[in-house]
């Protein structure tokens, strides 16, 4: 089969790397890809929002299947565009992708079907939102309704901080139209957990759970990012809690989407908080997580393409998916200044030496300039260590990182420590 992966980040590098292992793959393309993906697939210089150009290329290259990585093109209907042209695409259509594209749609869906989530109110007016906020207690959560590259959520420790977030979203429009509406949400205390699942309508096949690290600095300090690291499994979280989340949150949500006439096909990502009252939903994403994908797919023993085809053909329920028992820890190496503005074009060295240690190095924001690989994004690389347990996988990741250098490189030093305390 000829496969086209859409996207150019660390998640897409991990997806491409995993698909490459399938005996069914003939030719592998990625649009637009990055310097790391270019080592294992043919990169096509077409942007993720250039739907007409992507469809034309897919026809020209006799593409049998498209795998869509990022959230924004899904929300804008890229799957619909491919399907209208008769090209099979793995991912939710525009109607189903609204579960991520609008936090208000998602919260209202959960409320309607009694699926556990934090209490909330939604607002279209800054003045009304501010009046409501002044009656609440901190900590409290402010969310832009639309997509904001994983940065549209503020967990405010004080009401002053919450008001500042509200102003920046609704008045300053730091996230553009994504901030036309906001959700003000009850703060949930507890451990976070991410569960990704392959979904075909009502059939849910969960992947192994992972835990992400959103804030930029050690100890969960500083502003939120797209994710500074992740790990799997979660030895400190009981399997009964994971099962609770699958049975009472993910499966009912898939059924709710069918009931709403928006059956979900693709990867449904549940961002969860384990509270004293059990797991509750923080968010749903309509695609694989980044950087969760970078640790989950290395543990996948079943052919990823076989799973995708089963989901496309409606036979996912008949498939047994197997996972490796090993642990995986991903540490993200980011540019100086991220998650704010950051420079590009910094030369990266030591990649081969890092991979020689046995680590996986997934490229997120990289580009090729002449014979050198340079930085081209906020999150630059995801270095994945593997081992028999979290401690050894973590050690392997950080040992590999010592080899990699670029000007201004920053990373967290405490990824996966919550599993070892």
pTM: 0.94
Q: Which stretches of the chain drop beneath a pLDDT of 70?
A: 150
Q: Is 361 helix (H, G, I), strand (E, B) or coil?
A: strand
Strand pairing report for 27-32 and 89-90:
unpaired
pLDDT of residue 7: 98
pLDDT of residue 238: 93
Give the chain's domains with CATH numbers: 2-91 (3.40.50.20), 125-180 (3.30.1490.20), 191-318 (3.30.470.20), 327-419 (3.90.600.10)
* Contact status, residue 58 vs residue 4, Cβ threshold 8 Å: yes
- Rounded CA gap, 397 and 131, in Å? 47
Model confidence pLDDT, tens digit, residues 83-105? 999 999 999 999 999 999 999 99
Strand pairing report for 27-32 and 2-7:
parallel
- Rounded CA gap, 115 and 248, in Å? 7
The backbone region for 408, taken as left when phi is positive above 0, alpha when psi lies in -120 to 50, beta otherwise, is left
Q: From 191, 185, 397, select the one nearest 298 (Cα to Cα).
A: 397
Tell me the CB-side half-sphere exposure of residue 178, using CA atoms within 13 A.
Answer: 22
Beta bridge partners of 269: 196, 285
* Contact status, residue 157 vs residue 137, Cβ threshold 8 Å: no
pLDDT of residue 150: 65
pLDDT of residue 179: 86
Number of Cβ within 10 Å of residue 232's Cβ equals 27
pLDDT of residue 343: 97
In 239-381, alpha helices (H): 239-245, 251-259, 292-296, 304-313, 351-356
Evaluate the omega torsion of the peptide bond into residue 30 and state whether it is cis, within 30 degrees of 0: no
pLDDT of residue 23: 96
């Amino acid at each position: 089969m000829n496969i086209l992966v859409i996207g150019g980040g660390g998640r897409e590098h991990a997806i491409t790397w995993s698909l490459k292992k399938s005996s069914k793959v003939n030719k592998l393309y990625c649009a637009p890809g990055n310097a790391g993906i270019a080592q294992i697939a043919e990169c096509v210089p077409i942007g993720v929002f250039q739907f007409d150009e992507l469809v034309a290329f897919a026809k020209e290259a006799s593409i049998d299947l498209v795998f869509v990585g990022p959230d924004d093109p899904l929300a804008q209907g890229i799957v619909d565009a491919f399907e209208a042209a008769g090209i099979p695409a793995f991912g939710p259509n525009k109607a189903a992708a609204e579960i991520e594209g609008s936090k208000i749609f998602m919260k209202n869906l959960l409320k309607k079907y009694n699926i556990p989530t934090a209490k909330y109110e939604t607002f279209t007016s800054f003045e009304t939102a501010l009046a409501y906020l002044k009656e609440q207690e901190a900590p409290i959560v402010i969310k832009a309704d639309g997509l904001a590259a994983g940065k549209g959520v503020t967990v405010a420790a004080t009401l002053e901080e919450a008001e500042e977030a509200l102003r920046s979203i609704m008045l300053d429009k730091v996230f553009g139209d994504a901030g036309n509406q906001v959700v003000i949400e009850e703060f949930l205390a507890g451990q976070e957990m991410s569960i990704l699942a392959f979904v075909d309508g009502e059939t849910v096949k969960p992947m192994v759970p992972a835990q992400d690290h959103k804030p930029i600095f050690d100890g969960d300090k500083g502003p939120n990012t797209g994710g500074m690291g992740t790990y799997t499994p979660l030895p400190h979280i009981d399997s009964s809690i994971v099962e609770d989340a699958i049975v009472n949150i993910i499966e009912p949500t898939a059924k709710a989407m069918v009931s709403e006439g928006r059956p979900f096909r693709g990867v449904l990502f549940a961002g969860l908080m384990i509270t004293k009252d059990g797991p509750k939903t923080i968010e749903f994403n309509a695609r694989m997580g980044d950087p969760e994908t970078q640790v989950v797919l290395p543990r996948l023993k079943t052919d990823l393409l076989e799973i995708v085809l089963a989901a496309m053909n409606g036979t996912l329920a008949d498939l047994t998916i197997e996972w490796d028992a090993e642990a995986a820890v991903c540490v993200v190496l980011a540019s100086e200044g991220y998650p704010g503005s950051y420079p590009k074009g910094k030369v990266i060295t030591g990649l081969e030496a890092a991979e020689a240690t046995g680590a996986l190095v997934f490229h997120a924001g990289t580009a090729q300039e002449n014979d050198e690989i340079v930085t081209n994004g906020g999150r630059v690389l995801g270095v994945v260590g593997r081992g028999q347990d979290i401690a050894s996988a973590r050690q392997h990741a950080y040992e590999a990182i010592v080899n990699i250098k670029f000007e201004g490189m920053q990373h967290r030093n405490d990824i996966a420590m919550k599993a070892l305390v």
